[in-house]
Structure 1
Amino acid sequence: MTLTGQGEVRALEVLYNRYARAAFAFAVRIVGDPLEAEEILQEAFLRVWQQANRFQHARGSFASWLLSITHNLAIDALRRRQRRPQRADMVDFFEVLRTEIDTAVDLEEAAMVAELRQQVQAAIAQLPQRQREVLELAYFQGLTQREIAELLDEPLGTVKTRMRLGLQKLQEALQAQRPETSG
């Protein structure tokens, strides 16, 4: 990423070769259209190139950052369609990382990603089913809170409360698992 931030095209090529399959698969799972997913992939890597200097390794891995960009672009694409996405099996963000990323990833980073995946899965599993459901619908299906309320036939305030409580519980669980650092 440092080299990409310095304008090294070859560095971007290496990142693309290593992570494009994962980002493409993730986009296809969200938008359901390979052609649209290709456009999302191109836009995601354009943003990586343009915003490389904004990447902070301390906040997470490149793969997580790229998949976050891809997710945002895919959700934007769904919203532009002005149609509610079909309810499909929920996408497992970390399963995409595990199955699609090039095996040339450094072992330390792979171990950290595996540990993070386990921590997030454990934290999500601890959530009450209704809180987990609204978070999955919002994050993986791109539904707004109002759309979730209509889909689940629940009051909007109830959906908002479940989302807020679910996010708070996730944050607390993940912070409790994070080792204390000084400084």
Structure 2
Amino acid sequence: MKAKQPTALGCLYDHYGSVVYGVALKVLQSQPEAEDLTQEIFLSLWQRPVDSAKHGHLMRYLIVMTRSRAIDKLRSHSRTLNLVQRWGQNVTAAPPAPTPVEQAVFNERSQQVRQALAQLSVQQRQAIELAYDAGLSQSEIAQQLNKPLGTVKSWTRQGLLKLKQLLRDSID
């Protein structure tokens, strides 16, 4: 193995492959994952040959290494699954119903916005409503109103600035 002779790896695989695969399968409970781990173990052995003086019997070393990496894979799967489950819960969880106070504040603000919108010019209000209520782009608004894009942008900007000022004044 230290001389990087492929035949040496083949001999070791023939001799210990079924043991490594068996340990991996017992821990992982999945044939494809056990096959992948067996390949990883022998690839690792090829890349960093074992000094038998340091590790004792090669079979014990391979069993311990396989078991350890299989457990690491299970832990990794568990962390990933927990993350996905938590993320899924956060995404699918419905927002809590607003409290009566929150609902009252929302209603009051909605009324203030409606009153401020009523003070804008017809063109400004129309451009803002098409953009925010209908979700249209500036280009789509220009097409729908049959007006130049620059004009629509100007109406929207001037309307938003005036709306900002009106709302700021209503808070003070």
Please give the TM-score of this superposition, normalised by the length of structure 1.
Answer: 0.41
Instruction: Name the one with the larger helix percent.
Output: 2
In the superposition, the TM-score normalised over structure 2's length comes to 0.44
| The structure with more radius of gyration | 2
